[in-house]
Copies of this chain bind each other. A is one copy, B any other.
Amino acid sequence: MRVGFIGTGIMGKPMAHNLLRAGFAVSVHNRSRSRLADLISEGAAWMDSPRAVAAASELIVTMLPGWAEFEAVLVGSDGLLAGIRPGAIHLSMETVSPGQARRAAVMLQELGAHGLDAPVSGGEQGAIDASLAIMVGGAQEAFDVALPVLQAMGRNVIRIGPSGAGQIAKACNQLIVAVTIEAVAEALALARAAGVDPANVRRALAGGFADSRILQDHGRRMLDGDYLPGGQAKHHLKDRAVVEEIVAATGIDLPVAEAAFARIATLVERGRGELDHSALFTLFSDDAAREL
């Protein structure tokens, strides 16, 4: 299958690399060709526009920072929609809102093509290892055709439901991630406030019901003060907006998620939005400093 790839950033580049390694013919485009030198040397074909990528591909992957960048690639005389072939599949792997995902799928459908929303979880390491969790929304038939491509980039590939459902699952994922990071931060801060070494507490909780990937990874970051991203805190405010869009549409009450997202907003307001989200732990040091 001829695969196009647009959005070769921190996540996208290793994902495109994994497609090449799996034997797919890959064409790529980036505003700066020099950024793609490594992929081109590995066999990727350079195209001078998103339109040209689409025209050369049966399946096109985008992995862009968000909706603004995605829409800029999609529309216009050099855009993806201008070149897309009837029957082609577009895999939208960036995180956008469910409504935006459905809008893109409708635009594709009007041109006889198929849109799948397929956001991921697992971070840069998951992209490198091809171990991403990939949550897919869209028609079963298109999912079946795209599956070999998805499996070249991820380990846990699940079709959640119709168009937009992948982004809904991603919002659920981000809700749990935000709340669990704050839970671990509160527990370690509680231990420290009570005069106990939080490193011992983290070690003791391993294997019990409180154990999680976040206790392991983000808990260690908190104890080491290692806040190089990772997942930048400010990106969680986009996730908050997606969750609040669903909340507004359905009237559901999510008090703990709201409290956790409010903490992230405080962190961003204090100028720490570029740090890893585990920097939520620093809010407790602010409080302690104010006490002095």
**Chain A residues packing against B (C-beta within 8 Å):** 98, 121-123, 126, 131-135, 155-156, 158-161, 165, 168-169, 171-177, 179-180, 182-184, 186-191, 193-197, 200-201, 203-215, 217, 231, 243, 246-247, 249-260, 262-263, 284, 287, 291
Q: Are B254 and A256 in contact (CB under 8 A)?
A: no
Q: Are A246 and B194 in contact (CB under 8 A)?
A: yes
Known: A182-B256, A205-B176, A212-B180. A169 touches B200 (CB 8 A): yes
Which 8 pairs show the lowest CB-CB distances between chains A and B? A121-B208, A212-B212, A133-B208, A179-B183, A176-B210, A193-B250, A172-B187, A158-B204
A interface SS class: helix
Cα(A207)–Cα(B126), bound, Å: 10
Known: A123-B209, A169-B205, A193-B250. 10 other contacts (CB 8 A): A122-B209, A158-B203, A161-B200, A171-B190, A176-B187, A176-B210, A179-B179, A183-B257, A190-B243, A256-B263
17 chain-A/chain-B pairs, Cβ below 8 angstroms:
A121-B209, A133-B207, A160-B204, A165-B196, A168-B195, A169-B196, A173-B187, A173-B208, A173-B210, A176-B210, A176-B212, A180-B183, A190-B257, A193-B250, A209-B214, A255-B262, A256-B259
Residues of B within 8 A of A132 (CB): 208
Q: How far is the CB of A216 from chain B (nearest CB, A)?
A: 10
Q: How far is the CB of A106 from chain B (nearest CB, A)?
A: 17
Residues of B within 8 A of A203 (CB): 156, 158
Cα(A263)–Cα(B256), bound, Å: 9
Q: Are A200 and B160 in contact (CB under 8 A)?
A: yes
Q: Among A165, A200, A209, which residue has the most Cβ atoms of chain B within 10 A?
A: A209
